[in-house]
Amino acid sequence: MVIGTQRLRLSVATAALTAGLVAGLVGGASPALAAAGGSWAWGDNALGQLGNGTLVAHRAAASTLAPALADLAAGREHVLGLTPAGTVVAWGWNGTGQLGDGTRVNRTRPVVVAGLPAAAAIGAGHYHSLAVDTAGRVWTWGRNTDGQLGDGTTTNRSRPVQVAGVSTAVAVAGGREHSLALLADGTVLAWGANTDGQLGTGDLRARLQPAAVPGLTGVVRIAAGRGSSVALRADGTVFAWGDNQYGQVGDGTTTDRPSPTRVSGLPPITAIATFGFHCLALDASGRVWAWGLGAQGQVGGGVFRQVNRVPAAVPGLTGVVAVGAGRNHSVAVDAAGRVWAWGNNDLGQLGDGTTTNRASPVLAATLPGVRRVAAGRDYSIALAPTG
């Protein structure tokens, strides 16, 4: 693959196409684009996190990014994309080198991450980025003030560095100042800040290099929040640890947990998401569960200033296939490609054409083929994967 050609395909959207989607996407999308494998982003764009070549902020309608992505990951104000060929691209804020292109220059369109081997998985922290290559090695770049890059230092990196001693990783996740890696044997490694016990090591000691999370086995998915972590086991049970001031561990208390603790009252779960102070889980029947801080409606219970110390089902959502958690908002997509969102909406991150906060899910767009959603600080992104 010619890198220059790939970058052009990923970044170019004609004025006519963009205008048409902005005008007509809410409530209905282009089936042809979605079926071909497209990405759409909406909400805050002050740092280029929508990836459409502009800095137009406060957008309250969805806009096209580009086709030809197999996966994506949303950070605080930057996004990673993975192409079917294993190339990692990035766009948005680059103040700590989290785009991995060797600069600290913000990008409004995707750029290729420099010097990275073919990747199989990606993850985005608040200010740093992660990738797993096809050999199972973990690479990191961006902010490293708390050792979240796992290279044994606290030096920020604008190009990927390899995390030593990891050779069987299958997935990665980044929180505000910590990182997780899921290994092929179902165990989890963690490194970085640990002030709230978010590393799950049973203590509050930071780690500059990966450390095993004791007692956690059979894991198939991981997620990292502002000061907490979540893991999904193959048997459908969910464990959380770290900061619990708003009940984000989901055990009915507000006591921080430095070791993995089972989340209470959930049916068998198939997917998890977290970013700020709330968590989402998707059960096998397509229902969404939420716990943690709901001050701006992000737990979807129909009221504001709500705190769920144990999970509660989000009313009115059925047939959901994917969920994403932002700082103070949540998104979900159902089997029909309908994207639903709730929570804070001051920058249009719910995509319903308003800036009104919502304590219950509202329809953002219908995007046939979409099977992946993610959310950052104040923006949302949806993907119809290719490859």
Contacts of 23 (CB under 8 A, 6+ apart): 61
Could you tell me if 149 and 108 are in contact, meaning their C-beta atoms sit under 8 angstroms apart?
no
The whole domain housing 240 covers 3-383
Q: pLDDT value at position 68?
A: 83
Structure-model confidence comparison of residues 93 and 65, the more confident one = 93
231's enclosing H/E stretch is strand 228-233
Of 11, 344, 302, 274, nearest to 123 by C-alpha is: 274
Q: Is the pTM here over 0.85, yes or no?
A: yes
> Sorting pLDDT into bands at 50, 70 and 90, what band is 34?
very low
Please report where in the chains the tokens 């290729």 appear, as a residue.
112
Query: What single DSSP character describes residue 246?
Result: T
Q: pLDDT value at position 170?
A: 98
Could you tell me if 386 and 371 are in contact, meaning their C-beta atoms sit under 8 angstroms apart?
no
Degrees (nearest 5) of the Cα angle 107, 109, 112?
85
Residue 165 has pLDDT above 80, yes or no: yes
Q: pLDDT value at position 111?
A: 96
* Cα distances (angstroms) measured from residue 59 to each of 4, 44, 46, 354: 29, 7, 10, 9
Q: pLDDT value at position 385?
A: 81
Could you tell me if 313 and 289 are in contact, meaning their C-beta atoms sit under 8 angstroms apart?
yes
Q: pLDDT value at position 21?
A: 27
Residue 13 has pLDDT above 90, yes or no: no
Q: pLDDT value at position 386?
A: 73
Q: pLDDT value at position 27?
A: 28
Mean pLDDT, the chain, as a whole number? 89
* The total number of structural domains that make up the chain: 1
Residue 20 has pLDDT above 80, yes or no: no
Query: What single DSSP character describes residue 37?
Result: H
Domain of 244, CATH number, reads: 2.130.10.30
Task: Read off φ and ψ for residue 312, nearest 5 degrees.
Answer: -135, 140
Residue 25 has pLDDT above 70, yes or no: no
Helices and strands per DSSP (H, E), number in the chain: 3, 28
Q: How many CA atoms lie within 13 A of 310 on its CB side?
A: 7
Residue 67 has pLDDT above 90, yes or no: no
